Structure 1
Amino acid sequence: MVFSFFIAGHSFKSRLMLGTGKYKSLKDAKESIYLSSTSIITVAVRRAQSVMGIDSLVDALDWKCLWLLPNTAGCQTVEEAVRVAVLGREIAKKLGQENNNFVKLEVISDSQYLFPDPLGTLKAAEYLIKKNFEVLPYVNSDPVLAKQLEEIGCAAVMPLASPIGSGQGLKNLYNLKIIIDNASVPVIVDAGIGTPSEASHVMELGAEAVLVNTAIAQAGSSPKMAIAMKLAVKAGRLAYLARRIPLKHVAQASSTQYGTL
């Protein structure tokens, strides 16, 4: 139970979630997903629709062992995101996941930095929740918005660490900590993580999970990076549960002076 966690009543064995874009080959993607021991795979619905076929990663994976998290990547408006979310649910059903109502909600009108639209995300989330979706919104690291999304019924919140695909790491650490400390739903740090140490760091802060795509898919060796991320997430979770020592402003010897000559 140390490494498993729950989203909307569903239990998952791994706290490392993987994206499926940008891999150098289908073989690389399949091997990395397998070696990561992930439970949840996110797939852009638009890309899945266009590539489903004999060479498709969607078709190549064992969906009895993996949970599909359809995402609305590429949607710039509320209306687009809602329509694509519905299509994503249909793909999940075709894969045999009849009770899968999950959607990673992305509403992104900013084409340069790919920052999520907060108002559009909130509006789309409200609508999808009424349609019985389990909404996992991708958001800026905004503690106020994160709490609002939680209060309207989102199953989790997915704040970015830095711009998606940038590998810049933990640029919004203070805000991420505020979101984690005040959330009653899982906080899944998504976007910007570039190294295993960064994944471990946010897990040490108490994040429930991380979602990694580019850092694995574009690494020199994707399979090796997938293993490294898996171990880092586990180490970070254990460190969070173990509770670190308090910081001190002076040195303190590790052995006492008792009994010395």
Structure 2
Amino acid sequence: MLRITLNAEQRHFPKPLTVAELLRQLGKNPAQVAVEVNRCVVPRHEHESYWLRDGDVVEIVTLVGGGSGASAGETPPEDRPLKIGPFTFRSRLFTGTGKYASYELMRQCLAASGCEVTTVAVRRERLFDKEGKSLLDYLNLERLTILPNTAGCYSAEDAIRHARLARELLANLGNPGAQWVKLECLADPKTLLPDPIETLRATEQLVAEGFLVLVYTSDDPVLARRLKQAGAASVMPAGSPIGSGQGILNPNNIRICLEYLKDNDPDYPVIVDAGVGTASDVSVAMELGCDGVLLNTAIALAKDPLRMAWAVRYACEAGRLAYLAGRIPKRLYANASSPTEGLIHSSR
């Protein structure tokens, strides 16, 4: 009779056994375990010759995950598309077309970002460069939906005028972007913060004229709610001032905007617009629960714009996945990820 302690349990066997015979009786693959006898590791090449003795303490261990859960698939779980009015998009990253060193670099970065929407301003200096090249020649109008914006407008009247011109231009091009406009009514050129009164006035008028209005605003939750009530198809709170690269300065206000705008309307699209400086800022916005991010300067003025285009693309996808997955609660104390069940008996 062989009596041993096996993984902290008393076990009896009718006859002496080698380590190899013990593993066979237990149905264990020797390539997938390690064996210790009386606190000394028995190498695999000694399993056949190592005889167990009465009273031996045997540990058979294997590897377990440092955590739990099913193995990941090759592709992430399916997500619903982003819907804004009649538009449906797979990408939740919107890009701008300004500040690039060349139109060719812009074209490459837009492709790398995976965006399906890009914004343009209706101004002569934005449509043609000093060499007479047209911005439109570098935009894939079959793949991209153009989102005209009213950048540089400081009154409701100017913004409405720009929106009407943009609709005419895009209708002539046959681009579906003729249906909508990204509304900007700025308060002053130093901060480029929106003028709340003029923004609300312009929203009401453009909605009345049949525009699908995506409106740039501050992170004021009360104003955000008023703009939605005025008919805005999407409210776009700023993370921080335009082009500042400061990221999401007030995540709590963004959270309240989301709460107000999505109350009894969970699919209402909320898109962070302005202030993004790098990929992590995009991820933060998406993890807050925003439906998308619009950026320009973060890519165009990066040291390597093409790399940054790829970075923000992945950050947008990662942030969205993290939001849908749900983060774990924050804890004051540690909580071990490796299971304690099957822990090797301590020597103390």
Q: TM (normalized to structure 1)?
A: 0.95
Q: In terms of mean alpha carbon deviation, does 124-133 or 95-104 score higher?
A: 95-104
Residue 48 to residue 148, structure 1, CA distance change in 2 (3 Å): farther
**For residue 251 of structure 1, what is the aligned residue in structure 2?**
334
Q: Which residue of 1 aligns with 2:217?
A: 139
Match of 2:88 in 1: 11
3-state SS, counterpart of residue 157 of structure 1? strand
Contact 2:246 2:276 in 1 (8 A): yes
- Cα distance change of structure 1 residues 213 and 98 upon mapping to structure 2, 3 Å threshold: closer
Shift of 1:94: 2.0
Aligned to 2:317: 234
The alignment's C-alpha RMSD in Å is 1.7
* CA shift for structure 1 position 54: 5.6
Q: CA deviation at 1:104?
A: 0.4
Aligned to 2:178, what secondary structure does the other structure show?
Answer: coil
More helix by share: 1
SS in 2 for 1:75: coil
**Between Structure 1 and Structure 2, whose CA radius of gyration is higher?**
2
- Residue segments in structure 2 that go unaligned for 5+ positions in a row: 1-77, 263-267
The yes-or-no answer on 1:51 pairing with 2:128 is: yes
3-state SS in 2 of match to 1:257? coil
Give the conservation status (yes or no) of the 8 Å contact 1:42–1:68: yes
Are the aligned partners of 2:127 and 2:135 in contact in 1 as well (CA < 8 Å)?
A: no
Which amino acid in the other structure matches residue 59 of structure 1? D
Of 203, 220, 227, which residue of structure 1 is paired with 2:286?
203
Aligned residues between the structures: 261
Between 1:12-21 and 1:172-181, the stretch displaced more is 172-181
Matched, 1:39 2:116: yes
Q: Output one character per residue of 1:200-256: Cα deviation in whole Å (capped at 9) or x when no partner.
A: 111011100000100000011111110110000000001111111111121111234
- 1:9-158 correspondence to structure 2 within 5 Å: 9-47=86-124, 50-51=127-128, 55-97=133-175, 100-158=178-236
User: What's the offset of the Cα at 1:95?
Assistant: 1.9
Contact 1:18–1:41, Cα closer than 8 Å, also in 2: yes
Partners in 2 of 1:99 and 1:210 — Cα distance? 18
How many Å apart are 1:259 and its aligned residue?
3.4
Q: Deviations over 1:134-166 (max 9, x none)?
A: 001100111001111111211001111111001
The 1-side partners of 2:101 and 2:124 are apart by: 16
Tell whether the 8 Å contact from 1:3 to 1:237 is kept in structure 2 after alignment: no
Identity %: 47
**Contact 2:145 2:176 (8 Å CA) reproduced:** no
Q: 2:16 — aligned with what?
A: none
Query: What amino acid does structure 2 have at the position aligned with 1:177?
Result: R
Q: SS at 1:210's partner residue?
A: strand
Matches of residues 142-181 of structure 1 in structure 2 within 5 Å? 142-181=220-259
Range moving further from structure 2, 246-255 or 162-171: 246-255
1:50 deviates by: 4.9
Q: Which shows bigger deviation, 13-22 or 56-65?
A: 56-65
Decide whether the 8 Å contact of 1:16 with 1:211 is kept in 2. Answer: yes
- Contact 1:7–1:156 (CA<8 Å) still a contact in 2? yes
Query: How far did 1:9 drift?
Result: 2.3
- The 8 Å contact of residues 30 and 57 in structure 1, kept in 2 or not, is answered as no
